[in-house]
Structure 1
């Protein structure tokens, strides 16, 4: 059917406005970390929040208060897990991937590239994206826990101290 009546349209608008306001409020009080771009766990929570919002909007069987309760549960679990991850290395290691060194001191680390399923062309794209015309100007390239590539430039006499932790 293309149109069953105005009731459903008005319901989507009313529930949508209220569910959106509730979600924004809950995200605001839960802190910046809730939707940060950090790891796969955060992505899953973000997708689950979007899916829950869509279900509340489009399903007559799900009441607004049930959707708000689902938002609260997802955000609460996210808060608990992130709180625990900054206090426990075991939890942190469980939910976060380690950064991976893909290029170092003038050479591609082919085993790391293969393991992380990244091509040399993607790494070179990251170098170009940083405005560097030559890879010789690069000291290291790291695949970060959020999937982004960080390009570290060569520094005269400078040590790469940001690579010391866990790489």
Structure 2
């Protein structure tokens, strides 16, 4: 009898979950915000815990799922009807690079360090910050990139130009810390790095937020913004 009872609850719960998802509407995984993801997990957890709790009957399962589904639906309705609530419930996109400059405050606000940020860029096939004009962190955690005009199509092949060697940019300074292994691997030393910084009126390594070396394009430096 217990197995039959569990089977009935599973079937009813499955049907209820299917109906709730239909009511909430179709959304691609790439469109799901962190709030949506957690809400869906809680909904599934409510169903799982209720089914295997011997003291909980099918009516309690349906009530808990219906109430949580209703709350999710109300939140979706509010964000659609009232634009000002979207920043609170869905979060606005954040501009991480503006006019070629990394916004360190936005990185901190979104709990990203420079290494995590570079990892996100590489996943978008962008290996050098100097290629970028704008980067926007979307509400679903993905980034959108607008490249500088020099790095957009048409390609060299489109213009019938000879192929150029491709080099990987090497990070030399990150968050004011010099990565000496990378400096030496690039064939440079401390004196060279100091001279490069002094040429841009930067006196200390600690004043540099990010610096990278690219074989055919030289050194790219972004100092900390002055407050």
TM-score in terms of structure 1 length: 0.74
Matched, 1:142 2:136: yes
- Structure 2 gaps of 5+ residues are 153-227
Aligned-partner Cα distance in 2 for 1:142–1:52: 35
- 1:59, CA displacement in angstroms? 0.7
Matched, 1:129 2:134: no
C-alpha offsets along residues 96-120 of structure 1, whole Å, 9 cap, x if unaligned?
2221111223221111112221011
Aligned-partner Cα distance in 1 for 2:100–2:85: 35
Residues 34 and 58 (structure 1), Cα distance of their counterparts in 2 relative to 1, 3 Å cut? farther
CA RMSD of superposed structures (Å): 2.7
Among 10, 13, 31, the alignment partner of 1:16 is: 10
**Larger strand percent:** 2
- 1:94, CA displacement in angstroms? 3.1
**Larger helix percent:** 1
CA contact (8 A) 1:35 1:46 kept: no
Aligned to 2:81: 87
Aligned-partner Cα distance in 2 for 1:133–1:147: 19
Q: How many residues are matched?
A: 151
CA contact (8 A) 1:123 1:149 kept: no
CA contact (8 A) 1:34 1:75 kept: no
Aligned to 1:30: 24
Aligned to 2:107: 113
Query: Which has the higher Rg, Structure 1 or Structure 2?
Result: 2
- Structure 1 gaps of 5+ residues are 1-6, 159-167
Question: Which structure ranks higher in relative contact order (CA pairs < 8 Å, sequence separation ≥ 6)?
Answer: 1
Aligned-partner Cα distance in 2 for 1:59–1:37: 34
- 1:49, CA displacement in angstroms? 0.3
